[in-house]
Amino acid sequence: MRRTTSQSDRRSFIKYVGAAGTLGLAGCVGQDPSDDDGDGSSVVIGSNHPLSGSLGGTGTRMDNAVQLAAMMKNDNGGIESLDGAELEVISEDNQGNQELGGEVTDSLIDDGADVITGCFSSPVTNAATRAAERAGVPFVISVSVDDAILQDNDLQYAYRPQPPASQMAVDHAELMPQVIRDAGRDVQTAGLYYINIDFGQSVRDSLREELPNQDIEIVEEVSIDFGETADTAVTQLADADPDVVIATTYEAETVELVRAMDNQDYAPPFIAGCANEALNDVGALEEMGETVEGALPTNFALNPTLDRASEVRERYESEFDESFDANVAMTYAATEVIIAGIEEAGSSDPEDINDALSEIEVSDHIAAMPPISFDENGENENALAPLFQVQDLDDRVVFPEEYAETEIDL
């Protein structure tokens, strides 16, 4: 009797486990985007971002931004021109490694991506956009600053809504001195502090060209590598004594700069940032404290004058329990461009989406810039990096006036 019960229990167990396993497998198969039969019931966006590695934190937030943009579009009825077709996002990890940029793009395309976005690190994006070009799949850059990605390559399938390095430098060189001089103060010399990789070097090169046009002489340039302290760099900057120190680095290196400034009792008249992550991150600003109060960074930004932008920010923070920074804002805006392209194409065919993107003008986006449209290189003709000021350890857009949420305080 006991034996029978035991056998019965075992059979039941095996039966339920088998059923659960089968259902699980069926679920997995059902979610495979490569099984899309092409009837237009869904359109697949491939997200190629660093989900691990030293850029993994920011990359994951950017990937979440892609997911959120698709989620919100689906919540609002999906792609109208495709009878409510849903957006599906597949994500893969490029680890911030250049050699994985193309490989991940190929893999996403194999898995059914109709359009791709990424990659944060410029060398990775360079490789990824070339792979997409070879496959004839449109690629909308989420965040990557290096001019060369689009301007040194003749790409027909790549688009960049954000301002590239040269535009960031143009905007910074114009806006930052203008507000300082309008406030009755002066700025004649600058010291550049940059991360010694593609990103920092490309912005540095552009600042070298643009700052002299605004009568600002560069009196010192210092670089920092990943994991370095900024002690020596600050000694160099203090010796050169510029009116403004312009930082182009990721968070850790800017925090290092400020720590070393505090330790050496060095305070330049102005601290600024061009494409600087830390000066647009509330957590980093709180860590850096009073030293960065009044700092003047330029970066792409969420449009603070839009109610819809605030809603996106709140939804993001509640959905992912993470802070919403400038990279997230720009990635969300890039995904809005992709969605607009799909709507305009009325098709999930990559060629149709590409044709639509090449002609598109997107007015309804959350970035603080005019309508997005692309030139022959795929660069946004109206890209803008507005000027912020750190006020009460928060990054507030102060210029141009149409995007300003508060007044400059110098």
Partner 1 sequence: MGFSFDSVAALPSIGGLATESATVAFIQPSTALQLLAFAVLLGGIYGLVALGLTMIFGVMDVINFAHGAMMVVGMYTVWWTATAFGLHPILSIPLAVLGLFAIGVLVHLTTISSIMDAPQENQLIVTFGIMLILISAIEITFSTDPQSLGLGLGSVAIAGVFLPLGQLYALLISISAVVVVWLFLQRTQLGRAIRGTADDRTAAQYVGINVPRIDYLTFGIGAALAGLAGAVIPLFQQINPYLGDSYLINAFVIVVLGGLGSFPGALLGGLIVGFVHVFGQYFLPGSGYQISIFLIFILVLLLKPEGLLGGGVSE
SS3 annotation, the chain: CHHHHHHHHHHHHHHHHHHHHHHHHHHHHHCCHHHCCCCCCEEEEEEEECCCCCCHHHHHHHHHHHHHHHHHHHHCCCEHHHCCEEEEEEEEECCCCHHHHHHHHHHHHHCCCCEEEECCCHHHHHHHHHHHHHHCCCEEECCCCCCHHHHCCCCCCEEECCCCHHHHHHHHHHHHHHHHHHCCCCCCEEEEEEECCHHHHHHHHHHHHHHHHHCCEEEEEEEECCCCCCHHHHHHHHHHCCCEEEEECCHHHHHHHHHHHHHCCCCCCEEEEECCCHHHCHHHHHHHHHHHCCCEEECCCECCCCHHHHHHHHHHHHHHCCCCCHHHHHHHHHHHHHHHHHHHHCCCCHHHHHHHHHHCEECCCCECCCCEEECCCCEECCCCCCEEEEECCEEEEEECHHHCCCCCCC
Q: Whose Cβ is closer to partner 1: residue 179's or residue 284's?
A: 284
What binding mask, one character per residue, do residues 187-206 give for partner 1 by CB under 8 A, x or -? ---------x----------
- Of residues 275-314, which lie at the interface with partner 1 (CB under 8 A)? 287, 289
Distance of closest approach, residue 239 Cβ to partner 1, in angstroms: 6
Phi (first) and psi of residue 239, to 5 degrees:
-65, -40
CB 330: neighbour CB atoms within 10 A?
26
Q: Whose Cβ is closer to partner 1: residue 259's or residue 365's?
A: 259
Q: Whose Cβ is closer to partner 1: residue 27's or residue 227's?
A: 227
Q: Whose Cβ is closer to partner 1: residue 154's or residue 265's?
A: 265
Could you say which of 11, 15, 208, 308 contacts partner 1 (CB under 8 A)? Answer: 208
Distance of closest approach, residue 240 Cβ to partner 1, in angstroms: 5
Distance of closest approach, residue 57 Cβ to partner 1, in angstroms: 4
Could you say which of 149, 260, 345, 390 contacts partner 1 (CB under 8 A)? Answer: 260
231 forms part of the interface with partner 1 (CB under 8 A): yes
370 forms part of the interface with partner 1 (CB under 8 A): no
Could you say which of 142, 223, 303, 331 contacts partner 1 (CB under 8 A)? Answer: 223
Could you say which of 7, 263, 305, 406 contacts partner 1 (CB under 8 A)? Answer: 263
Helices 198-210, 165-182: axis angle to 10 degrees equals 50
Amino acid at 45: I
Q: Whose Cβ is closer to partner 1: residue 62's or residue 384's?
A: 62
239 forms part of the interface with partner 1 (CB under 8 A): yes
13 forms part of the interface with partner 1 (CB under 8 A): no
Helices 56-75, 326-345: axis angle to 10 degrees equals 40
Could you say which of 7, 34, 52, 406 contacts partner 1 (CB under 8 A)? Answer: 52
Q: Whose Cβ is closer to partner 1: residue 71's or residue 218's?
A: 218
325 forms part of the interface with partner 1 (CB under 8 A): no
Could you say which of 35, 265, 321, 392 contacts partner 1 (CB under 8 A)? Answer: 265
> Which range, of 139-147, 156-164, 221-229, 382-390, touches partner 1 by CB under 8 A?
221-229
Q: Whose Cβ is closer to partner 1: residue 173's or residue 309's?
A: 173
156 forms part of the interface with partner 1 (CB under 8 A): no
Q: Are 256 and 262 a contacting pair, CB within 8 Å?
A: no
Could you say which of 43, 55, 387, 398 contacts partner 1 (CB under 8 A)? Answer: 55
Q: Whose Cβ is closer to partner 1: residue 41's or residue 264's?
A: 264
How many residues of this chain bind partner 1 (CB under 8 A)?
A: 37
Chain residues in the site for partner 1 (CB under 8 A): 52-57, 196, 208, 218-221, 223, 225-229, 231-233, 235-236, 239-240, 251-252, 255-256, 259-260, 262-265, 287, 289
